Amino acid sequence: MKRRTLLLAPLLIAAPRFAFAQEAGADRSIAAILDDAAELDPLKTVIVSRDGEIIGERGYRGNGLDAPTNIKSASKSVVSALVGIAIDKGVLEGVDQKIAPILRADLPANPDPRIADITIGNLLSMQAGLGRTSGPNYGRWVASRNWVREALSMPFDGEPGGDMLYSTGSTHLLSAILTRASGRSTRELAREWLEEPLANFRIGGWDRDPQGIYLGGNQMAMSARSLLSFGELYRNGGIADGTRLLSAEWIEQSWTPRTASRFSGDGYGYGWFLREIGGEGVRYAWGYGGQMLYIAPAIGLTVVMTSQENNPSARNGYRDALHGLTARIITAAAREA
């Protein structure tokens, strides 16, 4: 029962600034709904795909569907996919593998003994217990000389495997682990494992830390069409053009709720948020500003939204307005099907 509660967190639309009521015009078509969405000023693009066929798309205010945009923390789901592929290929042992031996060179002097208990799975589910490097701590963290060492040096605010502590530092440690374990950059792995075999998928600019490790979980450029291609890989169970790129088991693990956000109540798996939207169980990637990838696997629906990247989406209600837009799309897609 606990797992179901995490997955089916209620849809709350408390967004007076970005009101986008899902009940209004309940019989409107997807085309009309996407026209209505133009009222959301930060919104740049929307793509709606059902069973692999695009059934609606818009670029607002001159923004193009093929133009790269910073997908921010939605890139955490991409890093999670790379970890899953690395496990499938034997580059990593599995989610229970301890991280300290891999990152030994960057451990702090006289580390807290709990650092030896942190696993790859803990990093994926934001349950490392280390203090957060996101939010108010982000600027200080990226201003440090060694982001991996700084993340590992954060004081413990919880226990490994305990409550969710959302932190970009945790995903960056995964990028460092991929680099150390493979002897190749995370960018090279992404190019070989995802870009080359996956049609219409490409990562553009991607920031690196002072040691050259690609930033795990932020500052990644991708177009709306590329984000759709990535989402379709998951919706199709890890198969693209008849080739398996990602195991179905990894997708199931990634979409299994392991903890919950203290801010929204949404469940969280391995790099994916989980909630009920429009009466459907939805898995979604979320980036600052409103960079969204929604997947409703039971009805074959994948929805991408990109937005202006410089404004918070959670505190001003915009993210909830995007959830409301998605609820309307889900309702219309189910009716039109």
User: CATH no. for residue 146?
Assistant: 1.20.58
pTM, two decimals, is 0.92
Which pLDDT band, with edges at 50, 70 and 90, does 141 fall under? very high
pLDDT in tens, 225-241: 999 999 999 999 999 99
pLDDT of residue 13: 37
Q: Do 44 and 98 sit in the same domain of this protein?
A: no
C-beta of residue 272 within 8 angstroms of C-beta of residue 251: no
Strands (E), 51-176: 53-59, 69-70
pLDDT of residue 40: 95
Task: Residue 105: give the domain boundaries.
Answer: 80-182
Do the domain assignments include residue 159? yes
In order of 123, 171, 186, 194, 203, the CA distances from 212 in angstroms are: 20, 15, 10, 21, 17
Q: Considering 182, 202, 234, which residue would you say is the last residue of a domain?
A: 182
Output phi, psi for 301, to 5 deg. Answer: -105, 135
C-beta of residue 273 within 8 angstroms of C-beta of residue 266: yes
Q: Rounded to an integer, what distance in angstroms lies between the CA atom of residue 275 and that of residue 254?
A: 14
Q: Do 131 and 43 sit in the same domain of this protein?
A: no
Q: Rounded to an integer, what distance in angstroms lies between the CA atom of residue 324 and that of residue 271?
A: 22
Q: Considering 131, 164, 182, which residue would you say is the last residue of a domain?
A: 182
pLDDT in tens, 245-288: 999 999 999 999 999 999 899 999 999 999 999 999 999 999 99
Q: Do 85 and 53 sit in the same domain of this protein?
A: no
**Token pair belonging to 153:** 């040096």
For the chain, the domain total comes to: 2
In order of 17, 19, 21, 61, the CA distances from 14 in angstroms are: 9, 8, 10, 26
Do the domain assignments include residue 252? yes
Tell me the mean pLDDT in the region 47-75. 97
Longest Cα–Cα distance in the chain: 63
Q: CB-side exposure of 50: number of CA atoms within 13 Å?
A: 13
Tell me the mean pLDDT in the region 137-163. 96
In order of 86, 105, 176, 184, 187, the CA distances from 179 in angstroms are: 11, 13, 5, 5, 9
Q: Do 307 and 230 sit in the same domain of this protein?
A: yes
Q: Do 84 and 173 sit in the same domain of this protein?
A: yes
Burial class (CB in 10 A: 0-12, 13-18, 19+), 262: exposed
Q: Rounded to an integer, what distance in angstroms lies between the CA atom of residue 255 and that of residue 268?
A: 8
The contacts of residue 134 (CB under 8 Å, 6+ apart) are: 166, 167, 168, 169
Residue 8 sits in a domain whose CATH number is 3.40.710.10
Q: Do 263 and 159 sit in the same domain of this protein?
A: no
Q: Considering 182, 213, 239, which residue would you say is the last residue of a domain?
A: 182
Kindly calculate the radius of gyration of the chain based on its CA atoms and give it in whole angstroms.
19
Q: Do 232 and 282 sit in the same domain of this protein?
A: yes
Q: Rounded to an integer, what distance in angstroms lies between the CA atom of residue 3 and that of residue 60?
A: 38
Which pLDDT band, with edges at 50, 70 and 90, does 1 fall under? very low
